[in-house]
Amino acid sequence: MTRRIFLFAFLPLALAACGKSEKKADDLAGMAASKDGRKTADKDVVILSAQQIADAGIETARPTVGGAAGAIELPGLVQGDPQGVQVVSATIGGRLVSLSRNLGQTVRQGDALAIIESREAASLKAEVEAARARAALAQSNLRREQRLFAERVSPEQDLVAARTAATEASIALRLAQQQLGATGGGGGALNRIAMRSPISGTVIARPAVLGQTVDANAELYRVANLKQVTVQVSLPPADAGRVRPGMRVEVSAAGRKQDGRVTFVSPVLDDDTRLVQLIATLDNSGGTWRVGEPVTTAIILPSTGDRSIAVPSTAVQWVDDRTVVFVRTPAGFRAVPVATGRRNGDQVTILSGLDGAERVATTNSFTLKAELGKGGEMDMD
């Protein structure tokens, strides 16, 4: 009886101990599987937030699909559109009594920027007033002669003479008005002329000084409409033969990049450099580019017609005896193994591993390579 009681008492303890041992083994196995699973899942992943990506200077782009023949990369210089930069000069000599705009201020076409006080201005305005009076008198004489001729009081010869005089007076008035208009006109007082802006834009230069006496044709202001700028590039003759107007151009400088279009390829060589001048046009409505700024231009050559995939050489890294490209994911980047083909300029053909729809890290991908050895989570501190 005592033995039976002992067995009944010991049995639950034994079962409990056995259960705990099995549970501990299961937990250890689960932990090992979890560790192995995390290692397998995360070994090619770098976890980054959008802010960390921006702080690290990592830029992404889609691969080139379609067998692009590559790009011609050359230095360039941002210039103002020749149609968008105008000089406001003095049309007559005199003294500057008003300057209404400063550097950086915007103007509209026809705005008065400067007023010149001049004897010549007084003469031009006086001539207009005199011509207007002569024209009014000639018209009055013409109406009188027409009435007298109709009443058979005056001969036709007097009517013809009055009509001729009226015509000549009208021509003289228009001429005087046009001469005044060529100087700018307006200005308020009889001896003042206003210099007006020929275009809408921004004042980029103001060599004039208030109170200064200037000669005719002296530069007072320079106004630029920089909503569109051009990039000038000098091409070797061998490359110029592959470039045509309308081709896409990638312009980059100091963290900025923008697409433009080739608008002009010179048919002649420059006498001094023996190179071919190329001009590309950029939209600058956001004020991204400054005139005189040096940039890097990549002229994208036309597609060869196949469906090959290419990425910049800076996107390809060597990790653990594998060639990889870092593909953007919602949590950061994943190192995707790829097979590479030929190199064309700064582009590398991808034979397998990408389908062309991904966004890959094109700059600072070496930073992502380094982070893989740190556990895949970047410390930005």
What CA–CA distance (Å, rounded) separates 204 from 292? 13
Residue 6, domain member (yes or no): no
Residue 4, domain member (yes or no): no
Q: Do residues 126 and 248 share a domain?
A: no
Count of Cβ atoms closer than 10 Å to residue 34 Cβ: 10
CATH number of the domain encompassing residue 333: 2.40.420.20
Q: Do residues 113 and 197 share a domain?
A: yes
Residue 39, domain member (yes or no): no
Q: Do residues 261 and 355 share a domain?
A: no
Q: Do residues 205 and 93 share a domain?
A: yes
pLDDT in tens, 42-88: 688 999 998 999 898 999 888 887 655 567 888 999 988 877 888 99
Residue 247, domain member (yes or no): yes
CATH number of the domain encompassing residue 262: 2.40.30.170
CATH number of the domain encompassing residue 96: 2.40.50.100
- The overall pTM is greater than 0.85: no
Q: Do residues 164 and 136 share a domain?
A: yes
CATH number of the domain encompassing residue 136: 1.10.287
The partner residues of 79 in beta bridges, in order of sequence, read 230
Residue 255, domain member (yes or no): yes
Among 251, 273, 300, residue at a domain's last position? 300
Q: Do residues 296 and 233 share a domain?
A: yes
Q: Do residues 175 and 265 share a domain?
A: no
Which pLDDT score is estimated for 69? Answer: 54
What CA–CA distance (Å, rounded) separates 199 from 178? 20
Residue 1, domain member (yes or no): no
Q: Do residues 237 and 292 share a domain?
A: yes
Long-range own/partner contacts, residues 176-183 (CB < 8 A, 24 or more apart): 176/124, 176/127, 176/128, 176/130, 176/131, 176/132, 177/128, 177/131, 179/124, 179/127, 180/124, 180/125, 180/127, 180/128, 182/91, 183/91, 183/92, 183/120, 183/121, 183/124
Contact indicator for 372, 44 with CB cutoff of 8 Å:
yes
Q: Do residues 234 and 253 share a domain?
A: yes
Q: Give the CA dihedral 231, 234, 240, 243, nearest 10 degrees.
A: -10
Q: Which of 316, 305, 319, 300 is nearest to 370 (CA)?
A: 319
Residue 35, domain member (yes or no): no
Q: Do residues 279 and 364 share a domain?
A: no
Among 275, 300, 325, residue at a domain's last position? 300
Contact indicator for 150, 129 with CB cutoff of 8 Å:
no
The partner residues of 183 in beta bridges, in order of sequence, read none
Domain total in the chain: 4
Which pLDDT score is estimated for 377? Answer: 56
Q: Do residues 320 and 347 share a domain?
A: yes
- Run means of pLDDT, 10 residues per run, the chain, 381 residues: 42 42 38 37 82 90 71 88 86 90 90 89 86 94 91 88 93 89 75 88 91 91 90 90 90 88 93 92 89 90 72 90 93 93 81 88 90 63 48
Q: Which of 127, 171, 125, 162 is nearest to 142 (CA)?
A: 162
Structural domain range at position 169: 119-186
Residue 11, domain member (yes or no): no
Q: Do residues 98 and 216 share a domain?
A: yes
The partner residues of 340 in beta bridges, in order of sequence, read 350
Which pLDDT score is estimated for 15? Answer: 39
Q: Which residue has the tokens 């002569």?
A: 134
